Amino acid sequence: MTFEILAHTPLFLTGVFVFGLLIGSFLNVVILRLPARMQHDWECQCRELLEQANDDNDKPPPGLVWDRSRCPHCGHGITAIENIPLLSYVFLRGRCSSCRQKISFRYPAVELLTAVLFLVTIWHFGPTVQGLAALVLTGSLVVLTGIDLDHQLLPDNLTLPLLWIGLLLSLFHVFVDPVTSIKGALAGYLSLWLVYQLFRVLTGKEGMGYGDFKLLAALGAWLGWQALPLVVLLSSLVGAVVGLALLSTRLHKKGQPMPFGPFIAAAGWIALVWGDRIIDLYLRISGLR
C-alpha cells in the first residue's frame, strides 16, 4: 500500500521523469556509438582473419561511458552545462555553442520520449521489481528502435542479453513463469522465422532480418507466448499504416527496405503496459468472455 501511494505522488513522479531524461541522454550515446564500435570490431576481426596489419592511425570510436561527447561538425567538447538533458538544447536554441551548427532534434526527442515512457511505466507498475524490470525493457526497446532506424540493424549485443534477462526473470515469476517464458521465446523466434522462410521461397527475397526474430523471441521471454499474437498484430498493423503513409507522401521510396524492429518494439511496450487490458477488451467485444 505504501508503494502504491508513493508511486502517485508528484515528487516521486517528477523524480522518475528526470531520471528518464538522464537515461534518455545516455541512450542517445548508445544509439550513436554502439554501431560504430561494432563496425570497428568487425573490421579488426576481418584484418586479423586475413592476416593484415592493423593501421596504427585507426583509433577505435569513442566508448559508451567515459569518452566525452563532441560536436559532430567542429569537434567541440560538450561541457557539463551543455549536456543537461532537454534544457541545454532549449538554452542553446538547438545549435552548437562553438560552430553554431544545428544539433539534431533527435537528441532531445529521445530524452523526452524515454522520460515519458518511464513515467507511464512506473505509473502502471509502481516502484516494484516489476517496475524496475519494465524500465530495463523500455530503455532497451528505445535503443533498438534508434539503431534499427539508423542502420536497419538489431544487434545481438542487445537482443540476446534481453532474451536471457527475460528468461532469468521468469525464474522469479516477475512477469510470467519459466514454462510460459520458454514457450514465448520459442514461439517468438520460430513464428517470424517461418514467415521469413515462406516469403523467401515465394519471392526469392528476404523480407526481414534475423534481428527481428531475436527481438520477438526476447519479448516472448519477457511477456509469455500469450502476448505474441497481440505484438505481431499491432506491429504489422502500425507498420502497414506507417508504410502506406510514407509511400503516399513520397517520404519513402517504393522498394526501399523499411526496418520492422521499431514496430515490434513499440508493440512490445504497449503489450507490456496494456496488453492484458487490450486482450480482455477484445475477448469481451468478440463475446469470447
- CB of 289 closer than 8 Å to CB of 283: yes
Residue 227, CB-side half-sphere exposure with 13 Å CA sphere: 27
Encode pLDDT of 243-283 as tens digits. 777 767 766 666 667 889 999 999 999 999 999 899 888 87
Give the pLDDT of residue 181. Answer: 97
Question: Which residues are within 8 A (CB) of 175 and not within 5 positions of it... i.e. 6 or more apart?
Answer: 130, 133, 166, 169, 181, 222, 223, 224
Q: What are phi and psi of 77, to 5 degrees?
A: -70, 125
Encode pLDDT of 41-58 as tens digits. 888 888 888 877 766 666
In order of 216, 239, 247, the CA distances from 254 in angstroms are 26, 15, 7
**Alpha-carbon span 185 to 119, nearest angstrom:** 28
- CB of 95 closer than 8 Å to CB of 102: yes
What the block records as the C-alpha cell of 268 is 512490445
Q: State the 10-residue block means of pLDDT for the chain, 289 residues long.
A: 68 93 95 91 82 70 80 81 86 86 91 97 93 97 96 94 97 96 96 87 77 96 95 89 73 73 95 91 77
- 93 torsion bin: left (phi>0), alpha (psi -120 to 50), beta (else): left
Give the pLDDT of residue 19. Answer: 96
What the block records as the C-alpha cell of 248 is 503516399
